[in-house]
Amino acid sequence: MIDLSIRGGIAHIVWNHPSKSQNLINDESCAAYFEVIERVCTDPTISGVLMSSAKSDFIAGGDLQWLLQATDPALMQQRSKDWHRAQRRLETCGKPVAVAISGSALGGGLEVALAAHYRVGTTDPKARFGLPEATLGLLPGGGGTQRMLRMVGAVAALPLLLEGKKLRAAEALQHGLLNAAVEPGQEVDAALAWLQSDKAHAQQPWDRKDFKLPGGSMSSPGVVQALTVANAMLRKRAQGLQPQLLDILSCVVHGGPCDIDTGLAVEARFFAHTVVQPACKAMIRTLFFGMQAANKPAALSAGPQPTPKAQRVGVLGAGMMGAGIAYAAAKAGLPVVLLDATLEQAQRGKAYSEQLLAKQLARGDDAARQAQALLARIQPSAEYTDLTGSDLVVEAVFEDRALKARVTAQTEALTTADTVFATNTSTLPITGLAEASKRPEQFIGLHFFSPVDKMPLVEVIMGQQTSAATLARALAFVRQLGKTPIVVNDSRGFYTSRVFSTYVLEGLALLAEGVAPALIENAGLQVGMPVGPLALTDEVSSELIARIDRQTQIDLGADYRAHPGHIVARQMVEWGRIGRKSGKGFYDYPADAAKQLWAGLGERYAVRPDQPDVQDVVERLLMAQCIEAVRCLEEGVLHSALDGDVGAVLGWGFPAARGGPFGEIHSQGVNRVVQRCEQLCRQHGARFAPPQRLVQMQQRGEAFYPH
C-alpha cells in the first residue's frame, strides 16, 4: 500500500496500492500513511523525506466509493481531523519533505503534496493539478481549502476551490503549487537532488511553514470584493442546490483569518457537513460512477474481434447539426465528407468550423493551433459519389421521413455492405426509418445535441434490427469524438427528448391553468434547470412542438393522448408567436435589449387570483420528468437508472446536484414519490399516475441505488 525505504538518511515513501490501478485515500491507506508518518517523524536517523508514487499518477484522491457510503458526519469530521493531525505532524517535524509527482495530483493527491515543503511535477501534457472536489459535490477536506488559500491568496484560490479548475504544470508553477516541473521520469531524481542540497536545510526552522496570504489579508478590499462576487455568483449558479459551494466559501471566510490549525478545524467541520449531503452522493454517483460506466459500455467489447474504429466519415446535411458533427469528427482526426444539396450549402456548413476555430483562436485556446489541419479534413460536397469509402455515415438532413428514406437509399447505393448508417433524427423512431434501408442491421440512431461541439452526450438508439456489431462500431465512433454515450432502445422521442419534453409541456399546462408566467419560470430555475419552461419553449419553438405533436397524432391514431401543454403550443403558433427564431414567443426578443415576457400573455392566459406555492410548481415540474423516466425504464427503453441519470444531466441540463430523475426519486424516497404521484394524478390527471415499476418498488421497499 505504502512502501518505506531509508537510504543515506532520506526516507522514501512510495504510494503503491497493490490491487488498484491508482492510489486512493480511504480508511485503509490512511492507516498505512499515518504509520509511515509516525516512523519518519520519530526516527532520528532520518533527516529528510521523499514521497512519490509507483503509479502513472501520484494519488488520484479520495476513494469515491468510500465517500459515497459516508453517512455519519461526526465520524467524517473525526476522519478529517485525524488526517490533518498526521499532515501537520509531517509538515512541522523539522525535516524537509519533497514530493515527486508523477502524472496528475488532484484532490486528496494535491492535498498530500501541498503539505510538503517542495513539489516537483512533470511537463507531461496530460498532467493536471487541482482540487476538483466541488465538481463532484465535495469539499477538499484534507487541508486543501486552508493550504491553497494560504499559498496562493484568496483571490486566486476562490476560483480554484469553487470551480475545481485543473491546472497544467506551467500554471501550477506560476501559482507556486509546484516548485519545479521536469521531464517525465526525472521527478524523483529532482526531488531527491533538492533534499540533498543546502537549500532544503537552509530554510530552518521547518516547524514554522511560512504560510502567507498573497494578494492581501482576508480583510483587504480586493479579497472582500472577490468574496462578495463569489457568494453572489454561486448562489445564482447552483440555485442553493449545491451545498458544497457555500461550505467551501465558509472555509475560506471563517478559516482564512485564523492560524492554520484553527483553519483546518473549520475545514473538518464543513467537510463533514458536505460529505453526507444527498447532493454530494448524487453528483458522485452520476458524474463519476455513471459516466465511468457509460464510457466503458460492455457492448463496445462484446464481439470476439476488437471493434474497428471509424476511418472516414460521411455527414449528410450541412445544417446546424451536420456542420457540428463534421467539426467534432474532424477535431477527432477523422477525414469527413460534408454533403448537402448544393456545394454552397455544404461550404456554409464547413464555414461553421472556421467560425468556431476563429473564436477559439481569439480566446487563445491551444487546441485551435491545429485549425488548418482540422479544416483540411472537412471536404464539402454535393456529390453522393464522394461518400464512397466512408465506413460510417451520419445523416442530419431535414426532419422529413421521405427525404431521410431517399438519402438513405442514395448513400447505400455507393457505400459498402459494412458501412454503418447512423441517423441523427430527434423524433422519428429508428425502426421505421430503417425500413428505407436494405441493411437495417447496419442502421442505428446517433442522437447528437446542439451545439454539438459543446454538448457531451450522444444518445445511441438501437432499432429492432440493429446488430450488436453496428452498436459496437457506433460506440467506438462516439468514443473517438470524446463524447459520452448512453444506449437506449427505440421509442418515440427515445429517452432524452421524451422526458425533457415533459418539463416543457408541464410548464405550458401550468400557464393554461392560470399560473403566473414569472412563477412558472422561477420554479423551473429552482428545479435547477438552466432556463424556465416558457423560455425553453421559445428556444425549441412552439412550431416544432406542435409539428411533432401532429405527427405523433397521425402515427398513433386511437392511442394518441393529448397533453394540455400541446394545446398551448398550437395556440402560440396560431397567434404567430412561434419562438425566439421569429423574435416573438412567450417573450419578445428585441434586437437591442434583453428579452421580456410578452405583454399580451396575460390577456390570452388569465392569471388566476389564487396562485400555487412555488414549491408545488417545482415539484410538478420535477415529477413530470421523474415519472416519464421511470416509464422509459419499465418499457425497456433505458437499460438502467444510472444511464437515465447520466443522460438527463449531460443531455438536457437536469441539475447534477439532484443526480438525475432517478437520483431525485432516490433522494425523496420511492414511498413519498408514489404518494405524491397519486395526489397529483387526482388533481391534474392520468399523466401523473405512478408507474407500475415504482408501485412495485414501494411494496417491496426497494430503492434505485444502494447509497
If residue 412 lies in a helix (H) or strand (E), which one and from where to where?
A: helix 401-412
Give min distance, CB of 349 to ligand NAD, in A.
7
Nearest Cα residue to 130 out of 66, 57, 64: 57
- Compute the distance between CA of residue 283 and CA of residue 251 in angstroms, rounded to an integer: 21
The 3-class SS string of 120-185 reads: EEECCCCCCEECHHHHHCCCCCCCHHHHHHHHHCHHHHHHHHHCCCCECHHHHHHHCCCCEEECCC
Which of 111, 395, 459, 521 is flagged as catalytic? 459
Q: Does 340 bind ligand NAD (CB under 6 A)?
A: yes
- By beta carbon distance, the residue nearest ligand NAD is 319
Determine whether 459 is an active site residue: yes
Give min distance, CB of 426 to ligand NAD, in A.
4
Among 29, 104, 122, 426, binds ligand NAD (CB under 6 A): 426
CB distance 41 to 89 below 8 Å: yes
Q: Does 339 bind ligand NAD (CB under 6 A)?
A: yes
Which is closer to ligand NAD, CB of 196 or CB of 552? 552
- Compute the distance between CA of residue 457 and CA of residue 448 in angstroms, rounded to an integer: 7
Give min distance, CB of 461 to ligand NAD, in A.
11
Which three three-digit cell numbers place residue 649? Answer: 444531466
- Compute the distance between CA of residue 259 and CA of residue 70 in angstroms, rounded to an integer: 29
Which three three-digit cell numbers place residue 127? Answer: 498532467
Which is closer to ligand NAD, CB of 276 or CB of 320? 320
Nearest Cα residue to 495 out of 530, 554, 449, 438: 449
Which three three-digit cell numbers place residue 595? Answer: 428579452
Which is closer to ligand NAD, CB of 398 or CB of 560? 398
Q: Does 341 bind ligand NAD (CB under 6 A)?
A: yes
Give min distance, CB of 573 to ligand NAD, in A.
18
Give min distance, CB of 321 to ligand NAD, in A.
3
Of residues 387-416, those binding ligand NAD (CB under 6 A): 396-399, 403, 407
Which is closer to ligand NAD, CB of 242 or CB of 425? 425
Given the DSSP bridges, would you call strands 2-7 and 10-15 parallel, antiparallel or unpaired? antiparallel
Would you give the binding string for ligand NAD spanning residues 312-331, x where CB under 6 A is met?
A: ----xxxxxxx---------
Which is closer to ligand NAD, CB of 211 or CB of 398? 398
Among 179, 353, 419, 425, binds ligand NAD (CB under 6 A): 425
Q: Does 567 bind ligand NAD (CB under 6 A)?
A: no
Give min distance, CB of 530 to ligand NAD, in A.
15
By CB under 6 A, the count of residues binding ligand NAD is: 23
Give min distance, CB of 340 to ligand NAD, in A.
4
Stretch touching ligand NAD by CB under 6 A, among 421-429, 480-488, 592-600, 624-632? 421-429
- Compute the distance between CA of residue 636 and CA of residue 643 in angstroms, rounded to an integer: 12
Q: Does 696 bind ligand NAD (CB under 6 A)?
A: no
Q: Does 375 bind ligand NAD (CB under 6 A)?
A: no
Stretch touching ligand NAD by CB under 6 A, among 150-158, 163-171, 310-318, 483-491? 310-318
Which three three-digit cell numbers place residue 182? Answer: 521536469
HSE, side-chain direction, 13 A CA sphere, residue 274: 30
Give min distance, CB of 400 to ligand NAD, in A.
8
Which residue has cell 488548418? 372
Stretch touching ligand NAD by CB under 6 A, among 307-315, 335-343, 368-376, 473-481? 335-343
Which three three-digit cell numbers place residue 479? Answer: 468514443
Stretch touching ligand NAD by CB under 6 A, among 52-60, 240-248, 447-455, 486-494? 447-455
Stretch touching ligand NAD by CB under 6 A, among 64-72, 148-156, 444-452, 635-643? 444-452
CB neighbourhood size of 233 (10 A): 13
CB distance 462 to 487 below 8 Å: yes
Which is closer to ligand NAD, CB of 180 or CB of 422? 422
- Compute the distance between CA of residue 294 and CA of residue 701 in angstroms, rounded to an integer: 27
Give min distance, CB of 431 to ligand NAD, in A.
16
CB neighbourhood size of 649 (10 A): 26
The 3-class SS string of 305-337 reads: CCCCCCCCEEEECCCHHHHHHHHHHHHCCCCEE
The Cα-based distances of 229 to 232, 238, 256, 391, 652 in angstroms read: 5, 14, 17, 51, 28
Which is closer to ligand NAD, CB of 341 or CB of 703? 341
Q: Does 424 bind ligand NAD (CB under 6 A)?
A: yes
Residue ranges that bind ligand NAD, judged by CB under 6 A: 316-322, 339-341, 345, 396-399, 403, 407, 424-426, 447-448, 450
Active-site annotation, residues = 459
